[in-house]
Amino acid sequence: MNDRKFVNQYQPQTLYIATVLLYISAVFDFLSFTPLLMVAALLMGAAGYGIANELRWGYSLGLAVSVFRLILLLTLYGTAVLGFPLILTLMFDVAMVALLAHPQSREYQRIWFK
């Protein structure tokens, strides 16, 4: 029997939603066909899989890639990020970082992740 999963509904709500957001962002980044974002998409997919399977590297990778995407977005677009289409991307990126950096997520990964 295969114990590997893509989402883990038994994790805290913060990690579960962060995993789903990592997968959604990975799909949209990959479909952008921008080389840098395609690499980030592959890393986000791997991070989501690692978090769902309670692997410490998955959590670290997810947090690192989420922060990288947020910094990249703010660096490339500056204050234009507050305009309509980009503000949605900003909201998803901030939510991903906030969910992964939440004390409940950090505590769970510190105790249960391998």
Q: Tell whether 2 is covered by a domain.
A: no
Rounded distance, CA 88 to CA 111, Å? 33
**Does the pLDDT at position 1 exceed 70?**
no
- Report the domain count for the chain: 1
Which position has the higher pLDDT, 17 or 85? 17
How would DSSP label each residue in 80-103? GGGSHHHHHHHHHHHHHHHHHHSH
Domain of 51 in residue numbering reads as 13-112
Q: Is the pTM of this model over 0.75?
A: yes
Residue 61 scores a pLDDT above 60: yes
Q: Is the residue at 5 inside a domain?
A: no
